[in-house]
Amino acid sequence: MNKIKIAIAGSSGRMGRILLESVVQADDLVLHAALEHAGSEFIGRDAGELCGAPCGIKISTDVATALRGADVLIDFTRPEGTLHHLEICRKLGVAMVIGTTGFNAQQKAQLGAGAQDVGIVFAPNMSVGVNLVFNLLETASRVLSHGYDIEIIEAHHRHKIDAPSGTALGMGEVVARALGRDLEKCAVYGREGVTGERDPSTIGFATVRGGDIVGDHTVLYAGIGERIEITHKASSRATFALGALRAARFLKANAAGIYDMQDVLGLKD
C-alpha cells in the first residue's frame, strides 16, 4: 500500500503536535515533512520527539524543499503563513488541508484561486461532530425562521487570537443562508450600554476566552415559552486532527478544487 505523504505546518504548536501524533499512529499515512517559522527553537529537531515517537524527519523552515514530494500539507497556522504555503503548494502540486481561521474576504479569494491548481479542503472546523451540527443548523433555522431570536455563543482558550471563532462564523453563515439573510448585514458582534430592543432580523455573537477551553459552540434559538440549543463541545484537539486526516485522504482521491468538510463527509445533497 502506498502511504499518503503528509507535511505539517506549525508542527510545534498545540495543534501541530496532535497532528504529528495522529499521522505517526495512522497505518495509511507517513510523515513527509514538518515545518516551523524561522527562529523557532525546534528547527532541526526530530519532529517525532514532539509526540514521543522519533521518526527521522527534521523540523524545517525551508518550505519549498520540505514539501517537494509531499502529497498533502495540513496547515492550522495564520492566514499570512497559509497563503505563503499555498503559493509553494501550487508550484509543487501539493494538496492542502486548511484549518487556519481569520481569513478576510480577499484572502479567501486567494484560496479559491489556488484551488484551480491543487485540491484544497478549507473548513473553519475539521471536527466530524461540528460538521454534522452544521447540517442540523440548516434544518433548525428553516423550521425556526419566525418567532425565534438567534444567538451564537462560543468559548475558547486564552491564547486564541481571533474572535468570533471561525467555527462560530461558519455557523452564522449556515444560519443566515438558511434564513435568506446576509450575515455581513445582520450580524451583531457585541452589545454594551443602552442598545434598545433586539432587532429580530439579527444574528448575535458572544465570545468567551479563558483557561484551556478547547472549543465550545452553542446556537441558541430563543422563542416565546421555549429555547432550543444546539451545542458542540470539544474536549480534545484530537477531534480536529482526525478530521484533518480524513480530509487528507479525501484529497488524495479527488481532483483540484476547493472543498469543505461537508464534501469530505458526504453530507451535501
Q: What is the pLDDT of residues 136-158, one digit of tens each?
A: 999 999 999 999 999 999 999 99
Residues 6 or more apart whose CB falls under 8 angstroms from that of 227 comprise: 220, 221
Separation CA 259–CA 253 (nearest Å): 13
pLDDT at position 269, please? 67
Stretch 47-68: mean pLDDT: 90
- Which active-site residues does the annotation give? 156, 160
Q: Where in the chain is the domain with CATH 3.40.50.720?
A: 4-122+237-264
Stretch 240-263: mean pLDDT: 95
Q: Provide the β-strand partners of residue 29.
A: 4
Q: State the pLDDT confidence band at 179, using cuts at 50, 70 and 90.
A: very high
| Residue carrying C-alpha cell 463527509 | 265
Q: Where in the chain is the domain with CATH 3.30.360.10?
A: 128-234
Q: State the pLDDT confidence band at 268, using cuts at 50, 70 and 90.
A: confident
Please provide the average confidence, as pLDDT, over all residues in the chain.
95
pLDDT at position 47, please? 92
CATH architecture type of domain 4-122+237-264: 3-Layer(aba) Sandwich (3.40)
Instruction: Note if the bond before 124 is cis, omega within 30 degrees.
Output: no
Fold classified for 128-234 = Dihydrodipicolinate Reductase; domain 2 (3.30.360)
The CA-atom distances, in angstroms, between 238 and each of 71, 215, 243, 264 are: 22, 12, 9, 18
